[in-house]
Amino acid sequence: MNRTLHTALLSAVAALALAAMPATVTAQSKASAPARTAALTALTPENAVLVYVDYVTGLDNLMNTIPGKQYRNNVAAFAKFAGLFKMPVAVMGEENDYYGTFLPEIKAVIAAGGKTFAPRSTPTGYAPDFAKWLKDTGRKNVIIGGISIDNCTLHTSLDLIRNGYNVYVVVDASSTNSKLAEDAAIQRLIMAGAVPVGWLNALTDLGKDFAGPHGKGMMQIIQAHWPASTVGPVDDTTPDGRGMQLPR
């Protein structure tokens, strides 16, 4: 068989294989490029916003896919981003007899100037007032966490993506009451183009340099919350016994 005919046959086979490929696979391939772009985007305090979804006492007690103390530790660490980076902050949720009150860490965010939004009747927080506020910030990157990852946090994130935003879901500060539902929600978020992050890598992505202007604040959050973020308090095992030190 001559080389020209061989090349033509290979091209024909490749074309047939592509045509036979399920539409869902080709659609996922097309969707993967924006997801990679979002994953590679360098987050900064100047190009991102923080969104805290429904962190209220009436729902917090239902979260069990992450052990309780570990979960609240992670929420506390995530809440401190607002004070450290001075970014635009949105707080979704309401206080009443059913939902209870905002967690103390979130009350502090609100007291420091976090923007709150009117009570809503939908699982998504992407309501007109929030959409306008977000557009007015001029920022396209949204770092979001909240209750629950398989409902309000999920639907808000999906609507953000539908409207052209890059979404970074802080999965270790977002929980629910079913591991199966949590896994399914994270998979759907990834398929939609969201980027799952932990609070630690979101913190260091925003702060970048421990010798920079946010370095001391980053290290204080890490010292207070990182040891308890996965396994609870741990003994210092560094060679000199001094543990993590603040940058000089």
> Per-residue pLDDT tens for 163-177?
999 999 999 999 999
User: Which of these, 180, 120, 130, 179, lies nearest to 157 by C-alpha position?
Assistant: 130
| pLDDT value at residue 48 | 98
Where in the chain are the domains?
46-225
Which residue is it, tokens 């902050």? 89
The percentage of residues in the chain with a pLDDT greater than 90, rounded to a whole number, is 72
pLDDT of 1 strictly over 60: no
CA distance 231 to 225: 11
Average pLDDT of every residue of the chain: 86
| pLDDT value at residue 26 | 44
pLDDT of 244 strictly over 80: no
Structure confidence by residue, pLDDT tens digits, 209-243: 999 999 999 999 998 898 777 655 556 656 665 65
Label residue 29 by pLDDT band (50, 70, 90): very low
Label residue 202 by pLDDT band (50, 70, 90): very high
| pLDDT value at residue 25 | 43
Residues 113-125 have a mean pLDDT of 94
Residues 186-191 have a mean pLDDT of 97
Task: Report how far apart, in Å, the C-alpha atoms of 129 and of each of 78, 104, 118, 132, 187 are.
Answer: 24, 25, 8, 5, 29
Label residue 32 by pLDDT band (50, 70, 90): low
CATH architecture of the domain covering 46-225: 3-Layer(aba) Sandwich (3.40)
SS (H, E, C) the chain: CCHHHHHHHHHHHHHHHHHHCCHHHHHHHHHHHHHHHHHHCCCCCCCEEEEEECCEHHHHCCCCCCCHHHHHHHHHHHHHHHHHHCCCEEEECCCECCCECECHHHHHHHHCCCEECCCCCCCCCCCHHHHHHHHHHCCCEEEEEEECCCCHHHHHHHHHHHCCCEEEEEHHHCECCCHHHHHHHHHHHHHHCCEEECHHHHHHHHHCCCCCCCHHHHHHHHHHHCCCCCCCCCCCCCCCCCCCCCCC
| pLDDT value at residue 27 | 44
Task: Output phi, psi for 213, to 5 deg.
Answer: -65, -25
Residues 9-27 have a mean pLDDT of 51
Residues 137-162 have a mean pLDDT of 97
| pLDDT value at residue 238 | 61
Are 86 and 47 a contacting pair, CB within 8 Å? no
Structure confidence by residue, pLDDT tens digits, 33-79: 666 788 999 999 999 999 999 999 999 999 999 999 899 999 999 99
| pLDDT value at residue 234 | 57
